[in-house]
């Protein structure tokens, strides 16, 4: 069964802390994504990676960075967490031909 695995389902952090969200996929997909999900806003793209060490900003990259050192792993980094980054974070990988996304179960981050 194909899978996208996010390392932490629930995190609670304090303002100013550095936060790492890890994501691993086993489908050998080139493309990986980080989305943020907030009520009434749907999913918004934070960053996208189309190959190892390659990344592209999405619609809301401010306050975030990413790392992709290996094809199967894509990390989202909050250098200094703020309360407005409290949200559900979803990692996904995709097939090139159709853009179909395969999602992890999400990481719910609370910043106090």
Partner 1 sequence: AQSVTQLGSHVSVSEGALVLLRCNYSSSVPPYLFWYVQYPNQGLQLLLKYTSAATLVKGINGFEAEFKKSETSFHLTKPSAHMSDAAEYFCAVTRMDSSYKLIFGSGTRLLVRP
Would you tell me which residues interact with partner 1 (CB under 8 A)?
4, 31, 33, 35, 40-45, 48, 50, 58, 90, 92, 94, 96, 98-106, 108
21 versus 90: smaller Cβ distance to partner 1: 90
**Six token digits for residue 109:** 């981050």
Q: What are phi and psi of 85, to 5 degrees?
A: -100, 5
40 versus 84: smaller Cβ distance to partner 1: 40
Torsion region of 40: left, alpha or beta (phi above 0 gives left; psi -120 to 50 gives alpha): left
Angle at 93 between CA 23 and CA 20, to 5 degrees: 20
Q: How far is the CB of 110 from partner 1 (least distance, A)?
A: 14
Which one-letter DSSP state was computed for residue 111? E
41 versus 112: smaller Cβ distance to partner 1: 41
């Amino acid at each position: 069964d194909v899978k996208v695995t996010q390392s932490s389902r629930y995190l609670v952090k304090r303002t100013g802390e550095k936060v790492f969200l890890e994501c691993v996929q086993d489908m050998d997909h080139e493309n990986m994504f980080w989305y943020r999900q907030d009520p009434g806003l749907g999913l918004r793209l934070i960053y996208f990676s189309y190959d190892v060490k390659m990344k592209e900003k999405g619609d809301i990259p401010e306050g975030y960075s990413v790392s992709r050192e290996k094809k199967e792993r894509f990390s989202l980094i909050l250098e200094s967490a703020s309360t407005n980054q409290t949200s559900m974070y979803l990692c996904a990988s995709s097939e090139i031909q159709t853009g179909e996304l395969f999602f992890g179960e999400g990481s719910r981050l609370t910043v106090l």
